[in-house]
A = this chain, B = another copy of it.
Amino acid sequence: MNLKQLSELLGLSQTTVSRALNGYPEVNEATRERVLQAVKETGYRPNKAAQRLATGKAGSIGLVMPTAPDHYSDVHFGEFLTGLGEEAVRHDFHFVIMPADPNDEVGALRRLAISGNVDALFVAYMRGHDPRLPMLKSLSMPFLVHGRSFGSEPDYPYLDIDNEAAFYDAARLLLQLGHTRFALLNGPEHLDFAIRRKNGLVAALSERGLTVAEDCMSHTSMTDELGQSAMERFLQMPERPTAILCSSTVLALGAIRAVNQAGLRLGEDVSLIAHDDVLPHLKPENFSVPLTTTRSSLRAAGVRIAQRLIGTVKQDGPFPEQELWKTELIVRASTGPAPRQDQNLGGV
């Protein structure tokens, strides 16, 4: 069934049917109803290729997927993608992926752009001075980055959360509670969000003349096992930290296991604040000791990014070029006053 057949069936012209379908105003409501009804009955679906040829829009956004360990290989990316997908389905958009060696991300991105299969590009997992940025700017194709690239001129469209402020605020809270020995369970060192979160922590501490010891910062992929082993290391230190900042509830999950196994009490012997991406299977309020968190929904970010990208393609705009979302600092039971000095020094 194609447009022509459908229009003949209805005794209308293709123009009218097309307009009825695409929500143009110059068609009688009654006529539109008839058309919609016929579509339902016949199961008509417009031919994508024809639509694309006629409009010049493919209805798709492209992304390159580095096929390496550590990359896109975690729950967080899945959660983000879910948001992206939700919104895309709503607008009948789709995603084109280009699997690529992480050493050739730039090339893959370029190939994706010139392939003619996508209307816009999406990139994530930004690093400092990210080389993809200059390339994207040289392309004449809309793009949007999730996150930012530390050290690059911020003249590109992005959506990010204020990671620095999040961890700055979290650290301030712990400082106010009297903590002085901090540790950081962070994501991979080269990633922008990890850089900024560390900076936030460092900035808050330096206002009090404090620092984080180098061996009190762990940079790993964000799995609970790695959170656990890093935390175990921290807890074995002679002057073990009492305040832990954690880049993900997933890391926190492992970290708390380590705390428990060491016979310590969360929120008393050790205070912990985790960043909460609002992963549905890992709610901070459901931890046995509910977690104090900096919160920002990853899925919501996915939805918003899809919105902006799709809007740009459809020229629904205008959208703000750059968005920096504030995180919420939500206090629960995992943070408490710093333990008295003499208690901290004890082992298990």
Contacts and interface: CB of A to CB of B under 8 A. Distances in A.
Contacts of A65: 81
A122 B281 CA distance: 28
Contacts of A114: 45
Contact of A49 (B52, B72, B98, B100): B52
A98 B60 CA distance: 11
A116 B225 contact: no
Residues of A in contact with B, size category: 35 or more
Interface in A55-69: 56, 58-60, 65-69
Given A82-B101, A97-B97, A225-B226, A116 B45 contact: yes
Interface in A256-292: 281
A101 B281 CA distance: 13
Contacts of A68: 75, 78
A117 B60 contact: yes
Given A48-B116, A52-B52, A116-B45, A100 B78 contact: no
Contacts of A239: none
A95 B92 contact: no
B69 A94 contact: no
A48 B115 contact: yes
Contacts of A75: 68-69, 73
Interface in A210-245: 223, 225-226, 229
Contacts of A92: 115
Given A99-B82, A226-B225, A116 B49 contact: yes
B223 A47 contact: no
Given A48-B115, A82-B67, A225-B223, A60 B99 contact: no
A74 interface: yes
Interface string A71-95: 1111100110110110001001011
A98 to B, nearest CB: 7
Contact of A67 (B69, B78, B116, B117): B78
A314 interface: no
Contact of A73 (B78, B99, B101): B78
Contacts of A116: 45, 47-49
Contacts of A226: 225
A109 B13 CA distance: 34
A116 B78 CA distance: 24
Contact of A115 (B94, B100, B111, B117): B94
A50 interface: yes
A49 B60 contact: no
Contacts of A73: 73-75, 78
11 contacts: A47-B53, A49-B52, A53-B53, A59-B117, A68-B75, A71-B78, A73-B78, A84-B99, A95-B98, A96-B97, A97-B97
Chain A to chain B: the 5 pairs with minimum beta-carbon distance, closest first: A225-B225, A85-B99, A67-B78, A49-B52, A48-B116
